[in-house]
Structures are given as C-alpha cells and as structure tokens.
Amino acid sequence: MLDRLEDDTYAYRRKINHYYPFHDEGEWELGKFLVENLTQTQITKFSKLKWFNDHPRPSFTTKDKLLDWMDSLPCFTEWQVSKIEFSGYKTVYPIELIWRDALDVVKQLFSDPIFANHMTFVPHHIGVGNQREYGDYMSADMAWKIQDYLPIGATQVPIILGSDKTPVTRLTGGLEMHPIFITIGNIDSEVRSKATLRAWRCIAYMPIVKFRVHTDYQSILQARLWHKCMDLVCANLKAAAAEGCFMPDPFRFIRYVFTPLTVDPWDLDKFQKAAKVLNLSGVHMPYWRDWIYACPSVFLAGKILHTCFKFFADHPLKWVKETVGAYELDTRYIAQHKRVGTRHFAKGITHVKQMTGCEYRDIQRTIVASIAGAVSPRFIRAIRGLVDFTYLAQHPVHSPQSLQAMTQALSDFHSFKDAIVAAEARKGKKGVKEDFFIPKLELMQSFEGTIRRLGTLMQFSADTTERLLITHCKDLFPRTARQSKDFTEQCVRILNRQELMEIFDLYALLTSRGASLVNAIHAEDEDVTIANPALSWVSRILPDEVKSVHGPRPVRNHFLKGILSGDALTAFQLNVTPDYKSLSPAEIRTKYTLPDFDHTLTDFIRRSSLASDEHTCWDPKYGRFQVWNKFRLQLHSAFQPRVIMPSRVVQAYPLSNDFPLGNCDTILIDGPGMDGNITSYVAQVRLIFQPTIRRGSDVELPSYLSNPLLYVQYFRFISRPEDRPELMMWTVERVYTHDANGNRHRHGAVVRLTDATHAVELIPEYGEAVDKSMTSATCSESYERFFLNNFADKESYHAFSTEFV
C-alpha cells in the first residue's frame, strides 16, 4: 500500500512539499475541512469573504480548483458507475450501480499496516484445559476444512459481507440506494466489531428501483437485480477464490491468497415475501453460484441482533406485556435503581415507539427478575430459557461446555412454553392467537453448528453493519434532485474524495514528521487496552501525534496507576481531589445518616491492629476524613483474561433533594467467614473515605488506615439459585442489629476499598404488585429483599455462572 503511494504521479513533488498540491499542513487542513463540511456553494461564498482583502488567501482561489486538487491525491480503489439493464423490463429511472472492485478493497485491507498486530493468517486450535475453544473464524472448523483444499503454503482471506436495506439517499428526489460492506476474517473480531476502526469498507451502493410491472413481480425482479449487481462487484473475488492471487500482507511479505466467502449475514426475512406462495425467491442465478467453497447453509449465519434481540422484542416481550399488564410492567421498570452506565427507563418500556438493539438488550437485562411474582414460575422459566440462550450466544469465545449450555437453554424454553399458552399471552394483532412457528425461533436451532463451523456469532453482528450506516454513509451524498443528469457522477466524485482524504491524511502526517513508512510492529503489551489499531500504530511511530488520530480512545487502564487489590485482579480509581476534603465524624454521621460510624471504624481499627500488629494513637472520634462520592472498579475480561474491561462506577452519594435516602450502589466483597475461609458478601456502599492527619502532627497512620476505606451495609443470602429454579438467582435481604435500647439498625461495617471484587445489581422482589409509591430514588432503600441480578452484562453473567459460589 505504501509503495503505491510512493509511485504516485506527484510523489517526487511531495518529497519537497509533503502536502502537495497544498502549500503546507495548515492549508491542507483548511481544504479538508471545507470539502468535508461545506457544500460547493458554501465553499464559493467562503472564498469571496471580504476578510481575505486584508489577509492572505489560500492557494486554491475557487471551489473548482480545491476540488481538482483533492481529486489529484493518490487513490487505490476508485469508484465507478455502471448501467445495468434488464431486457424486457422497464424501470422508472435508469439502473445505475455505484461500485468498486471488491478484490482491490480486500488487497488494501489485507496489506494495511494499521492492522498488522491484529491479524491471523493460519487456522489454529485453542485448547483451554481439556476443551477446545471457538473464537474467531480461524479457530473454527470451516477454516481447517478449506485450508485442506488449498495448495501448501497458501493463505486464505475469508470474505465477510454485510449489508443493510436502509436507503442512504432518501432525500435525493426519489433515488434510493443501500450500501454493501466488506471485511476479512483475518482481522481480529474485537477490531471488526467497532465500526469506527475502519476495518469495514463499502464496496457498492445497490440501486433500489421500481420496475414497470405488476406488484407481484416487483420484489422478484429486485432480488434478481441485487444478485446481478453482486456478480459484477465480486467477480474478481470469485476468480481469486478459485485460482488464487498474490497480495502483500502488512509485513510486506507477498502471499498466495484464496478468498472464500465465509459469511453474508442477510436478514433472512429479506426475500420471504417474494417466496411466500411458491417457497421460491425467483432468483435462478444467485451471485454465489460460481463462488467456490460458498454454501448458503454455511455463510448465511444467524445474527444476534435480528434472531435474538428483535425476536425478543417481537415475541417474548409482548407475551410478558400481555400477562403482567402494561401499567404494572412499566411501574416495575420505572422503580428500578439507577446505575451509571446502565439504561434506565424513566417512562417505562411499553410506550417506546422506536427501539434499537441497545434498548432490547437493556430491557432483557432485568426482565427475569422484574416479572418474578407477577407470573407463574413456569412462565418465568420459559422466558429465562430464551434470555439464557441470548446471553450464551453472545459469548466472544465458546467451548463445548458453553455450547451444551446454550442448547439446554433453548430446550428449557420448549419444555416450559406451555405456560405461555396457558397464560393466553400469544395474542397477535386484533387479538388473534399466534403459534410458535416463528422463523427466528427455528433459526436458533442452527446456532451451535454455526459456531462450530465459523466461530462465535458476535463477530458477524448486524449491529456493526447498522452502525456503519452512520460512520460511513451519513450525510455523504448531496441533496440534489434526482433529475440531475450527473447525480451518480457527483456521488462517485464524493466517494473518491473521501477515500483520498482519509489515506492522504495519514500518509502526509508520517512523511512530514520523518517517520519510516515501514510499519513499526511490536508485540502487544501484556494487558490489551488499546481499542484503536490506528492509534496504537501512530503512538509507536509518532507518539506526539496521537491526538491527530480520530476514533474510539483506549480503555483507561487503572491497573497502571490505580489502587490494586491484594491479588492484583481488581483495580480501583478515585479522583485526586475528594468531594469533601475535611469532614468530622459528627458531620459524617449527620450528612450520611450513619449513627454507628464511630463504632464501626473503631472496631475495624481493633481488628486490623490485631491482625497486623500495627497500633495507632490516632483517635477516630476526633479525626478528620476525606470523602468521595464515587469510585471506579475495573476488572479483566472473564472470557479473555488479557483484555481489560471498561471500569464501572460505584456511587455513594449522601441524602439530597433528588435522593432523600441517598444514592448508593452495591458491590461484592470478599472477607473472612465464620469458618475462617474467604467468603463473598453483598453490601451497599454508603461512604468512601480516608482518614487524614493535620499538618505538623507527629502521628503516623498505619498501613490499614493509609488507603481508602468503605463504610458498607450488609445483605445476607436467604436462598440459593437452586431453591428457585425458575429464576436461578441468589436472593438477599438486609441485615439488622439491635442497640442497647432495643432499636433496630442496619448492620454496617468498615472494610478496605480493595476488598471489593465486583459491582453488582440488585432488583427488588416486587411480589405480585409493586408498591405504587416507590420511585427509582427510593426503591433500593425501601425494599428489604432483592434478587442478585446475574444478567447485568455478559461479563457478570459468565462470572456468576462459573466463578461465584
């Protein structure tokens, strides 16, 4: 890729001026800003501003000159327009396909040095213990089967396609197109799953046309047109899959490459209407017919977004609404405690008209615990089976054990779905009862086989493709009338300029700073935290230019500068400046309503001094304290221990007008049990503090007081998951003690910050009906019994399923 840049027509001029044809870097940034943000008319108005009468003008004096300069920048895969004709059929507008050669785009992706540390070139087996692990495509069965048919030493570049039927040109006088995206399975799934990392490239904009035929044949002809266009775009990819071709990898080695079609995750409902009567789509020449190693039963992989999340919204959620009642269900969601980083439905969930996969996921996260008590146990168990299946299907890595658990979860749903029938919950439109012959439900049966063949399904998520519409296509095309004869040519020029500017920006940055264009490839750090390959690459070559790279920033690694737990598996972060720099014990007791604060701190000092032989003359009754209202807790991934997860915020706010009882989150704490062994406790954090000493004082704090401490109030476990198999959740209730006067108080204690192990979520046990006086600000303080929600996120689900006992 970099050699082709050096071979550009004007490369010799750029050895003198790295930003040629622009005068310097500043002028290049101005020109890029104008082209990306202003229309041609606005650029003309800008160039005629009176301000330029007293200030130097840029080298480009007109919008035409600016655009010509942009068009002269080096390019790899140019866009083009092809006219498509269907003999015997007329259309409202001419059929024009905007596309570029898919093989050239694949070569660019395969050789991009940015992805050098994030690529795999050979199939491999991963063994964890005595079980095989299925992760990316190269660790699955199909990669090995195809490799067996390739010449010795050949490399397969698995082709992954993506599309979305959402038109990207609705405002252009009736012209509609939808994009086709491509990536390769060699790039790690963590990189491919983020749309902003540019691992996906657009290769075509499929025309959506209206044929002058009877409506019964409209969708059939559109389907044939789609396959005909795909034939043209992917012709060279199919040739490379059959005969192979040579292309350089990011390390500048030339490889003999084959390009099998691995995944084309369609929405399988796409052509169902056309095939309703005859069970046929009417497409007699599908584009994959001559693509070697391509089989629809393999590459038409199920999608988590449509098959799981949208299925959940279209069916199980409707069953729950019908059984629980819209008002009661809304009230249960409105009353849930708000946690930072988790969606809270302040107005309920039944009135939301438009939802995305994120909303479906957030509703699904608490649905099982939320409906407990309002429906029969068998009904809950059926819903729980589908939620379990969805969570297990989202695992970034799988083992035979997890695949068996996923299959069992789906089997549980079918075993208990009679409860849904008994509750008369399957009412469709106009009250008509629905059956269970649901295509998406049937498709779930194939998930286990697909994962064994292709790897985890999350790497093919349609959520990424839908996000690409925003990152790659939003506001891309001009709002020009469709009657404009050169509209498609305008679109092509815009697409080419976008590609030119993106490549030239990084090229000019490196050459102008004197950096070598040969990739500086290093082994990754022990802990993987950088989520942006471009940022990682530039940070090694030009550390001072990291700010020039756009896209998601790295996950902040608190393991480097934060507070570590004793086993170094958990990191904590507190703001440098506390929320309260100096509070007395009396102020803490009043502000946070902690009447036993002095007693619990004294007890903590006594226990710690006995355990460590460190004594102190510092008096907690007259000491001063720094206080924080929140801290961050960070863990490694439960699936991939080298990967660091984003931190979670744990709140401990005092009483306020918005939160009359405080706003405090719950955590899991490891501490000594009655038998002396380490035991897990659920506790609510009420205070985050650290003792301080006055300046000039000769008192020294012992080690157990020199780090942040937590005042917590405990919960005790009252039932195990096995006691309520429909929920499979731990149930906890608050712990109380009685003082000398017989008054009941919540049982509190002081513990080290580093004793915390997880941030956990508690859902109140609402019973048959929720108390209507409850709000999200009071429910966590007013209810006594709670379910420990193991569906808080995929990481928590996996951790509680495999670690927590």
Count of C-beta atoms within a 10 Å radius of residue 64: 12
Cβ atoms of 674 and 642 within 8 Å: the answer is no
Other Cβ atoms closer than 10 A to 425: 22
> What angle, rounded to 10 degrees, do the helices at 533-541 and 487-512 form?
30
> CA 555, CA 645: separation in Å to the nearest integer?
7
Helix (H) or strand (E) holding 361: helix 357-370
In whole angstroms, give the CA distance from residue 109 to residue 97. Answer: 23
Position of tokens 């008590």? 373
Nearest to 34 by CA among 8, 10, 1, 69: 69
CB neighbour class for 196 (10 Å; exposed up to 12, middle 13-18, buried from 19):
middle
pLDDT for 805: 47
Closest C-alpha to 508, from 472, 539, 545: 545
What average pLDDT is seen over the chain? 82
CA–CA gap between residue 805 and residue 803 (Å, rounded): 6
Q: How far is 119 from 192, CA to CA, in rounded Å?
A: 11
Nearest to 756 by CA among 643, 646, 665, 624: 665
With beta carbons less than 8 A apart as the criterion, state whether 688 and 631 touch.
Answer: yes
- Cα of 309 vs its chain's centroid, Å: 14
Contact (Cβ atoms closer than 8 angstroms) between residue 618 and residue 611: no
| Alpha-carbon distances, residue 53 vs 44, 61, 62, 281, 805 (angstroms) | 15, 13, 15, 65, 76
Distance of CA 653 to the CA centre of its chain: 29
| Share in percent of the chain as helix, strand, coil (round to 5) | 40, 20, 40
d(CA 396, CA 191): 13
- 269 Cβ contact partners less than 8 Å away, ≥ 6 residues apart: 306, 439
Judge if pTM exceeds 0.75. Answer: yes
DSSP 737-755: EE-TTS-EEE-EEEEEGGG
DSSP 177-204: EEEEEEEETTB-HHHHT-GGG---EEEE
- The C-alpha angle with vertex 462 and arms to 458 and 464, in degrees rounded to 5, equals 85
Contacts of 334 (CB under 8 A, 6+ apart): 345, 346, 347, 348, 775, 776
DSSP-H helix ranges across 62-156: 63-71, 102-111, 141-149
Interatomic CA distance for residues 695 and 699, integer angstroms:
10
Q: Are 94 and 83 in contact (CB under 8 A)?
A: yes
Q: How much is the pLDDT for 524? A: 44
Using N-to-C axis directions, what is the helix angle for 357-370 and 316-324, rounded to 10°? 40
- Residue 24's contacts (CB-CB under 8 Å, 6 or more residues apart) are 17
Kind and range of the H or E run holding 36: helix 25-37
Name, in order, each residue with C-beta under 8 angstroms of 474's C-beta and a sequence gap of 6 or more: none
Instruction: Decide: 330 and 350 in contact? Cβ < 8 Å.
Output: yes
Report residues of the chain scoring pLDDT below 50. 171-172, 267-272, 274, 480-483, 519-528, 530, 805
Residue owning tokens 């507190």:
574
